[in-house]
Amino acid sequence: MRTKNVTLLPKVQKAVSTLGENLKLARLRRRYSMEQVAERANISRPTLQSIEEGHPQVSIGAIVKVLFVLGLEKDILEVALDDKLGRRLQDANLMVKERAPKNKTKV
C-alpha cells in the first residue's frame, strides 16, 4: 500500500518533531528500549521510530498509546485546555452590537 506524502507548514513540522523528540527523551529517562515501548503500546517498532523522528503520517492513536506507556496520559488532556483565542472569539459574538431603542418622551 502506498502512503501519501504529507506536506506540513514548517511551524507544524517543527511541533511534530519536537513532540517526537520529547517522547524519545521520556522513553530514555525511563530506560525503556524501543522494543519494550512498542510492545506495551501494541504498535510496531518502526511506528515508534516514526513517532520519535516526527513523521506526520503516524496516527494520533499510536501517539496516545505511547503516552500511556510512558505514564504521560495526563499530558494529552492538557491540549487546548485553556483556549484563549477561542474564548475571545466566543465573547466577541456575545457582545450586543445593536443600539438600544430610543426613549419616546411624551410632550
- What pLDDT score was predicted for residue 9? 92
First to last CA, the chain: 84
C-alpha–C-alpha distance, residues 74 and 103, integer Å:
56
- What pLDDT score was predicted for residue 97? 60
Each residue's pLDDT, cut to its tens digit, for the chain (107 residues) gives 456 677 889 999 999 999 999 999 999 999 999 999 999 999 999 999 999 999 999 999 999 999 999 999 998 888 888 888 888 888 887 665 666 677 777 65
- Spell out the domains of the chain, with CATH numbers in brackets: 10-94 (1.10.260.40)
pTM of the shown model: 0.75
> Residue 98: in which H helix or E strand, if any?
none
